Amino acid sequence: MISKETFTKIFLQQKDKSTDSANMKHHMYKWWQSHRSKDIGGLRLSEEGFDYLVNELELRSYEIPFTEPIDLSPQTIIFFDRTMDFPYYLTNQSITVFSERKSFELYMFSDDIRKYGLVKAMNNQNKDSQTDINS
């Protein structure tokens, strides 16, 4: 999984902007919702980060509307933070991603995010079980 530090560096390089530590820190703060450094997750974009990717870098985005508005509770935000391995922009009306594959996966469950969470949890549990068997 690519870290948000790596994504930030790539995004800056695409516009020939400096990747020195001060500029990286500045853009990490501006572009990401979570300001904590971590190896996995934390790829939820701020509005400014989303705008940069769409308007400056002109990346193709895929918006997946929810059939009903969702509650952006801490649990919901943590769930997406742990399951999304690409930058994403989240509102209570939709989620926007920059991966066609992830958009298809989310679109299949857009009417029931709880079901998506259950499937992801089951898949992760199966991966852990396979790792234990192979060890």
- Domain count within the chain: 1
In 3D space, the residue among 102, 87, 91, 101 whose CA is nearest the CA of residue 11 turns out to be 87
Does residue 19 surpass a pLDDT of 60?
yes
* Domain membership flag for residue 46: yes
Query: Mean pLDDT for the chain?
Result: 84
Does residue 116 surpass a pLDDT of 90?
no
Tell me, yes or no, if the pTM score tops 0.85: no
Q: Residue 104 — pLDDT band, cuts 50, 70, 90?
A: confident
Give pLDDT, residue 1.
76
Distances from the Cα of 67 to the Cα of 80, 99, 101, 110, angstroms: 17, 21, 20, 7
pLDDT (tens digit per residue) in 39-95: 667 899 999 999 999 999 999 999 998 888 888 888 888 888 888 889 999 999 999
Give pLDDT, residue 72.
85
* Domain membership flag for residue 8: yes
* Domain membership flag for residue 133: no
* Domain membership flag for residue 21: yes
Q: Which domain holds residue 18?
A: 4-128
Give pLDDT, residue 105.
82
Does residue 110 surpass a pLDDT of 80?
no
Let me know: does 52 contact 31? Beta carbons within 8 Å.
Answer: yes
Give CA–CA dist 105/4, Å, rounded. 22
Give pLDDT, residue 107.
80
Side-by-side strand order, sheet with 88-90: 62-65, 94-97, 88-90
Q: Tell me whether residue 61 is exposed, middle or buried, using C-beta atoms within 10 angstroms of its C-beta: 0 to 12, 13 to 18, 19 or more.
A: middle
